[in-house]
Amino acid sequence: MSKIVQFENVGLRYGLGPEILQDISFGLEPSSFHFLIGPSGAGKSSLLKLMYLAHRPTRGKVSLFDRNISTLPRKDLPSVRRRIGVVFQEFRLLNHLSAFDNVALPLRVTGLRGAEIKRHVEELLSWVGLKDHLDSRPPTLSGGQQQRVAIARAVIARPQILYADEPTGNVDDRIAARIMHLFEELNKLGTTVVIATHNKAMVRETGHAVMSLEKGRLSLQGNAVSDASQKKGIEVGKVPTRQRKPTV
Amino acid sequence: MLRQSDIYFGQDESGRFLPWLIAFMVYLAALSIAGLFILNGLTQQFGAGIENSMTIQIPVTGSPSRDIARRTEVLQKLQRTSGVISSAHIPVKRVAELLRPWLGEATQSDQLPLPQVIDVAVDRTRGIRSDDIHRLFEDFRPPIVVDDHGEWLSDMVNALRSAEIVAISIVVLTGLATVGTVIFSTRAGLGLQKDTIAVLHFIGAKDDYIARQFAMRAAWLGLKGGIGGLAVALPTLAALRFAIGDLNFGLLPDLNLSSSGWISVALILPCVAIIAHLTARSTVLGSLSEMF
Ligand SMILES: Nc1ncnc2c1ncn2[C@@H]1O[C@H](COP(=O)(O)OP(=O)(O)OP(=O)(O)O)[C@@H](O)[C@H]1O
Ligand SMILES: [Mg+2]
């Protein structure tokens, strides 16, 4: 099966600065679930940025859905990005729009309008426990509530890949567990999930595949609980993850 | 109802200054366009008829029979002259009427010897000039007088045409200035909205989707400015018209703005909105095309 995300000897530098990602190579299977761990400043967010088309690599090759993003024509970017959902580390909600409108945005940019959007968005916001905050603007919501709006926005359009950057950083353990549960559910429905986090306990508990970044290098690959796979240096994507038939 | 824009323009200063600048441009353009229509009307009124005619005055000799003979000779010779389309004697009564505004009731009396007047329609494309006609009747004593309205009228018309060119230039310049202002403020807006634009891109918005929001806003600001500009321009035009009408020149042709003139002035409004819309759209598309 071909990889949904593929990195080959990728390097990234910001402007003329040092290379903050070096020689990154890995592949992700469709419908897999991965954690991306590493100390602050290791380059987790930067690696995600390459994966959600915020940057082009300075060297090497990044492929998404079997397409080389360095040679992807600009007009094709939106259609690729629509297959990707992102929960940003700092949420990046649009503060002048209501929670409802923020979550509706990925549907609206595809040209959808009206009643169908309304039903979908209200359903999803209820599901993340924000039924009573449809009209609230992000600045009036708590950090945890904003995070759930951001998560709802990332998943509303049923992306094939979901990236979440520190999605449990601002919430208590109970909500963190709920968010993790949501991601698990989406993964069961066929979504490839990549979560960048500091939360080692969460990584240990769930037993998903782990990519570890250290000073810009992917130093540890494999399943955090499977020592065998670490020793063999198995590519992340080849680690057996729960394979489920992707549903639409 | 219009849904709120995805982009928050609240902190964008251009929302305040752009309508004022556009209002000023629209004001200038409205006056220029109105002026253009009035000038054009004048040119046409002057040009029509008189431009292709001359008048010949045959001074009276004191002997009515000689006067008639001279008049007949003139008419006959004119008929054979190439470039002359037609010629006609204007009855003395009519001449008196035409002169009454200047001479008053004196024209009624026989004391004042009125010349015989012949109206000549000419085809200037055949190169006929007042001198040619004058030369035909060189031996007349007292000599005839040939008035060529076309000559001084063509000077007049040329002056009017120059004024029209100035008016057109002002309209073009205000249009260019509007385009420049919209480009400038849209660029500034793009800078302010960098984060929102990035988010819209990440969730899969096409450049066109983003450009449309800037374009709608620019059109709205343009419309606001346009309404403001016209709101001042229309009373100005009405006041000018009133002032000129009050002067009551018998001599001056109609100075009123035609209905097509009023319509053209009103059309500035949709034009400015469309110009702002298209300019903002292409500015945004141009800037975004350089991004990843
Ligand atoms: N836009 C940028 N311009 C320049 N340098 C940057 C930029 N973004 C990140 N960096 C640098 O790249 C390195 C990696 O940053 P990154 O945000 O990817 O780390 P991280 O692993 O996500 O950290 P954290 O856990 O604190 O979120 C850091 O040294 C950072 O200073
Ligand atoms: Mg980070």
**pLDDT one-digit tens code per residue, B21-41:** 999 999 999 999 999 998 888
C-alpha A38 to ligand 2 mean position (Å): 10
Q: Taking an 8 Å Cβ-Cβ cutoff, which residues of chain A contact chain B? A: 52-56, 74, 77-79, 81-82, 86, 92, 94-97, 101, 105-106, 108-110, 153, 157
Nearest ligand to the C-alpha of residue A55? 1
> Taking residues B66-72, what's their average pLDDT?
87
Ligand 1 pocket, residue A22 CB under 6 Å? no
Task: Provide the b/e sequence for B164-177 (b: ≥16 CB within 10 Å).
Answer: beebeebbeebbeb
- A109 contacts B204? CB cut-off 8 A: yes
Residues 6+ apart with CB under 8 A from B44: none
Average pLDDT over residues B5-14: 81
B137-177 confidence digits (pLDDT tens): 888 878 888 888 777 777 787 888 899 999 999 999 999 99
Cβ-Cβ contacts under 8 Å for A8 (sequence gap 6 or more): A25, A60, A61, A62, A63
Report the C-alpha gap between B7 and A239 in whole angstroms.
43
- For A23, B20, B224, the CA distances from B182, given in Å and listed in that order, are 46, 12, 14
Spatial distance between the Cα atoms of B19 and B225, rounded to a whole number of angstroms: 4
Question: For residue B51, is pLDDT > 80?
Answer: no
ipTM of the complex: 0.86
Element (H, E) at A108: helix A99-108
Average pLDDT over residues A107-130: 90
CB of A38 closer than 6 angstroms to any ligand 1 atom:
yes
A53, A96, A109 member nearest B200 (Cβ): A109
Residue B220 and residue A97: Cα distance in Å, rounded? 20
CATH class given for the domain over A30-41+75-230: alpha beta
Contact B204 A81 (CB under 8 A): yes
| Among the bound ligands, the one closest to the CA of A17 | 1
Residue type, A227: D
Whether residues B201 and A81 touch (CB distance < 8 A) is answered with yes
- Chain A partners of B8 at a C-beta cutoff of 8 Å? 94-96
Which atom of ligand 1 lies nearest, measured to the CA of A38?
Answer: 21
Q: Is A208 exposed, middle or buried (0-12, 13-18, 19+ CB in 10 A)?
A: buried
Q: Report how far ligand 2's centroid is from the alpha carbon of B202 (Å).
A: 17
**pTM for the whole structure:** 0.78
List the single residue in A with minimal CA-CA distance to B3: A101
SS3 content of chain A, % helix, strand, coil (to 5): 35, 25, 40
DSSP H or E segment with residue A62: strand A59-64
Residue A193 has pLDDT above 70, yes or no: yes
**Closest Cα in chain A, distance from residue B282 (Å):** 16
Confidence of residue A9 (pLDDT cuts 50, 70, 90): very high
Q: Is A40 in the pocket of ligand 1 (CB under 6 A)?
A: yes
**Measured distance CA(A7)–CA(A236) in Å, rounded:** 11
Query: Domain coordinates of chain A in residue numbers?
Result: 30-41+75-230
Contacts of B292 in chain A (CB under 8 A): 53-56, 74, 77
Q: How close B274 gets to chain A, by Cα (Å)?
A: 23
Q: Which of A160-174, A221-235, B71-85, B98-112 has the lowest mean pLDDT?
A: A221-235
Q: Which ligand is nearest to the CA of A37?
A: 1
Give me the residue label for tokens 């060119």.
B165
Q: Which residues of B touch A164 (CB under 8 A)?
A: none
Cα–ligand 1 centroid distance for A46 (angstroms): 6
Closest chain B residue to the Cα of A157, Cα to Cα: B203
A41 lines ligand 1 (CB under 6 A): yes
- What CA–CA distance (Å, rounded) separates B169 from B164? 8
The ligand 1 atom nearest the CA atom of A213: 21
For residue B283, report the distance from its CA to the centre of ligand 1, in Å. Answer: 32
Mean pLDDT across the stretch B123-147? 82
